[in-house]
Amino acid sequence: MRFSEQDARFMARAIQLAKKGLYTTHPNPRVGCVIVKDNDIISEGFTSPVGQAHAEVNALRGLSLEQTTGATAYVTLEPCSHTGRTPPCSQALITSCVARVVVATQDPNPQVSGSGLKQLEEAGIEVSVGLMEEQSKALLNGFIKRMETGLPWVSVKLAMSLDGRTAMASGESKWITGPDARRDVQFLRAKSSAVLTGLGTVLADDPSMNVRLNHVELDVPEVRQPVRVILDPQCDTPPESKLFSLDGDVWIVTSQSDSSKAQVLSAKGAEIIQVDSEHAERLPLLEVCRELAKREINEVHVEAGATLCGAFIQEGLVDELVIYMAAHLMGSEARGLLNMPGLDKMSDRTELQIKDIRAIGDDWRIIALPKLKPSAL
């Protein structure tokens, strides 16, 4: 399908608007919309926090029927066609009497998946799909993966020295990277649906696992705290852990949901999620991811130790590695980046595709995508 330069310009603006929902729309997809008439943008909008209006409704708000009749709507995702927490956006566009709707990508949600486009076409509206599709999908990776596979997008954050070490032999690790890199991590947390770690990290570091940027730094009306998820097979998380005193939900994923320890953690405000496990000290990570997806978790940000991060990689569950590399050496006695047993031959390596490398203050940030083997899919 051919699109004009004007089409590209207006869709680029819609994608800019979608980015404004980067930290706020969970679990809804990040969508932007502009309304154009006589080659001028007359209104624009993006998806509000969950339960509030979607991008199309926000863009149409305040416009008269005279203004919208014959106009073109540029939307980064197919308008929804079902009633969920809000009414269908396809009907809002039909009622507004727009003449054309340009869509970046089709909605993978089975409740929509082409039906929104069909409703528009049946109402006599010209529909064009596929403009700047990849740019739109880049903002929707977690939502798309959850809808298509029943699994969330998993990003693993790691920090290391130039020689690939994460802590001294004693366990001392503060701070490997500088303040700019640590601040950059806060933005990664802010856009995620959940921040996940293991019991070992909780016991060793008593982490907060929250977003410590304010609404001005994020350019949002209010900071949304992602869910803190602890993988804790035996419910051994200390009730006095710092994370229970902070805003936001805490989920304990365990195989012992009916234990007295689970009851204590529940009384502290944690939601206890049971996952059946054949191993007393280990949870099946695939099932953990499925459970999180069932709870509308689109994007999981993992900050954990070498063993849990290595297990996520070896089980083929990682979509993205974000590695911060500091310009210092920690020596051969220091602890390695990942525990990944069983890699005996060069053919056992996990191959990566480097997506981005850039300086963050005095450190370097590497974003790499694992090239999954067929057996891991």
Residues making up the annotated binding site are 54, 80, 89, 159, 173, 175, 189, 201, 205, 212, 303, 305-311
Q: Which of 56, 122, 148, 172 is catalytic?
A: 56
Cβ neighbours around 222 below 10 Å, total: 9
Query: In this structure, what DSSP letter does residue 139 have?
Result: T
Binding residues for NADP(+): 159, 175, 201, 205, 305-311
Residue numbers in the known binding site for substrate are: 173, 189, 212, 303
* CA distance linking residue 10 with residue 14, whole number of Å: 6
Q: What is the DSSP string of 301-341?
A: EE---HHHHHHHHHTT--SEEEEEEES----TTSEES---T
Catalytic, 320? Answer no
Residue 307 buriedness (CB in 10 A; 0-12 / 13-18 / 19+): middle
Residues with Cβ within 8 Å of 225's Cβ and at least 6 positions away in sequence, in order, are: 210, 211, 246, 247, 248, 249
Q: Which of 360, 350, 295, 341 minimizes the C-alpha distance to 156?
A: 350
Residues making up the binding site for Zn(2+) = 54, 80, 89
Residue ranges with strand state E in 115-199: 126-129, 153-161, 165-167, 194-198
Q: Give the bridge partners for 364, in sequence order.
A: 325, 359
Point out the residues that are catalytic: 56
